[in-house]
Structure 1
């Protein structure tokens, strides 16, 4: 569970964020503050993983408040003003969302945090499929296939899910998690490789082609993983 707080002096904006948070099982709202001083008290009294922080607040704006913290939680700026975006990202904010905030935009931002903060350390992705947001453990994912504007995620159980995402977006996240892109349309979980040639990879019941432009990277991967084991 990810403990989060809302720091915003606008009641309607805070209520909207609270409603968005309630729709995501892994988020737990543990407090709300209307100004920086009240927010500081919340941060001192309990462990906060994620802070939704407005910028224009009385007495002490959100940028200066975050800059003043020696131990900064993951922070998503929520504001009506575009001009502070550069300063926000210089403070290593997770995201900078402009009001009014739709749930779709909110979830896209929170997903970045969910990929990196879990209480158990489990690696997972969250994909919107069939109208719901589904959590998939990376150990379950066999391969990912690009299908136009969608991706098809196939699991080791042979189940599959379709989601409105781009394979390039997942590639940057999963590259360090044991996944490798072997084709313009395919990214595989290398833990499931059971056989291979220069032109294809076998993952259990599935045979995946190796694209010409990805062949060199795949060969480097094979040489590293199976070093001194190739006969």
Structure 2
């Protein structure tokens, strides 16, 4: 399932895209926005895999909005103007659709994403929070921190939330997937390690102490990192 959002200030264009999306089982519409600010809030609160982004919008156009995002979802530009095509592709947009968008052209654009996703399925976990199970890809999780009866989950977007999960259960689930337990309260995603010392590690600008009983695991991780020249 690919989570997508529509960002467009034209109600008819948004309605047409919504109708196109509803015809493809593997697409799930998780949000709609009429401007860049609304879209930004949606991206902060939802896991978005694909964004249908209009270019000509009030206050901040689609190209400048995409440039401003530190973490960019795959994007298909939708516009009534051909003039922005080159700049759109320079931003590594998946496609550039001219309005009015036929379903045939829409499907051709989306089909390449569906095919790529099928070939490169990314690992994910389900985290229970606020009575719902939230799907998170492992690549967006920076670290887990045990807090009281729950766990704090910190994402690359700096968003965080509390889950009722147990850190020991997570350690088993994440075994062999690039996560390392360095403290009785912390499991980190090794992909985000930017610096370390004997007693401390920096993960995406967060400093975390290494627990005494986890020194061996930490040293094994550091040896692996040094051998593969990851840092």
Paired residues of 1:54 and 1:77 also in contact (CA < 8 A): yes
1: distance between equivalents of 2:115 and 2:52?
17
Cα separation, 2, equivalents of 1:101 and 1:120 = 28
CA distance in 2, matches of 1:72, 1:118: 20
* Equivalent residue number for residue 204 of structure 1: none
Q: Deviations over 1:128-187 (max 9, x none)?
A: xxxxxxxxxxxxxxxxxxxxxxxxxxxxxxxxxxxxxxxxxxxxxxxxxxxxxxxxxxxx
Q: In the alignment, what sits opposite 1:18?
A: 18
Whether the 8 Å contact between 1:4 and 1:31 is mirrored in structure 2 is: yes
4+ residue segments displaced more than 3 Å: none
RMSD: 1.5
* d(CA) in 2 for partners of 1:86, 1:120: 27
Q: Please, what TM-score do these two structures have when normalized by structure 2?
A: 0.51
Q: Corresponding residue for 1:131?
A: none
Look up the match of 1:78. 78
Equivalent position SS for 2:44: helix
Shift of 1:118: 4.4
TM-aligned CA deviation for residue 121 of structure 1: 2.3
Post-superposition Cα deviations, 1:41-96, rounded to whole Å, max 9, x if no partner, equal 00000110000000000000000000111100000000001000000000000000
1:129 matched residue in structure 2: none
Structure 2 gap ranges (5+): 123-231
The answer as to whether partners of 1:32 and 1:39 remain within 8 angstroms in 2 is: yes
TM-score w.r.t. the length of structure 1 is 0.51
Counterpart of 1:108? 108
Alignment of 1:110-149 (within 5 A): 110-118=110-118, 121=121
CA shift at 1:116, angstroms? 1.5
Secondary structure at 1:32 match in 2: strand
Q: Is the 8 A contact 1:2 1:119 kept in 2?
A: no
> What SS is found at the alignment partner of 2:17?
helix
What 5-or-longer segments of structure 1 have no aligned partner? 123-231
Tell me, in whole angstroms, the C-alpha distance in 2 between the residues paired with 1:37 and 1:121: 30
How big is the shift at 1:117? 2.0
Q: Which residue of 2 aligns with 1:94?
A: 94
Q: CA deviation at 1:120?
A: 8.0
Secondary structure in 1 aligned to 2:40? helix
- 2:53 pairs with 1:45: no
Shift of 1:119: 9.9
